[in-house]
Amino acid sequence: MARGNPLKKYLMAEDFVPLIQEIVDTHPGLGFLKEATEFHSRYVHTVSQHLHLLAKFGIGRGKLNCSSVSNGAC
């Protein structure tokens, strides 16, 4: 599931960074960020930490697994 470790069955905050960066780079609604490149890393970090906090309080250990996002349908 997680990038870099095919045996890991959960995601941590840092696992979201490449995905969030890709969204920042390509999403038309985030075009305002293209002019503020110094803000990119802070924005990406903030969003990944937000996802991490959701996972932490959702399942208690900061790990986001398949069952925590799909109501056990994995």
**Mean per-residue pLDDT, 49-64:** 67
pLDDT tens-place string over residues 14-46: 888 888 889 888 999 888 877 787 887 888 888
* Residues 6+ positions from 43 with CB-CB distance below 8 Å: 24, 33
Rg over CA atoms, the chain: 14
Q: Is 7 within a domain?
A: no
Q: Is 24 within a domain?
A: yes
Percent of the chain with pLDDT strictly greater than 70: 64
The identity of residue 61, as a single letter, is R
Torsion of CA 32, 36, 42, 44, to 10 degrees: 40
Q: Encoding tokens for residue 17?
A: 């960074």
Give residue 61's domain range: 13-69
Q: Is 5 within a domain?
A: no
Q: Is 37 within a domain?
A: yes
Q: Is 2 within a domain?
A: no
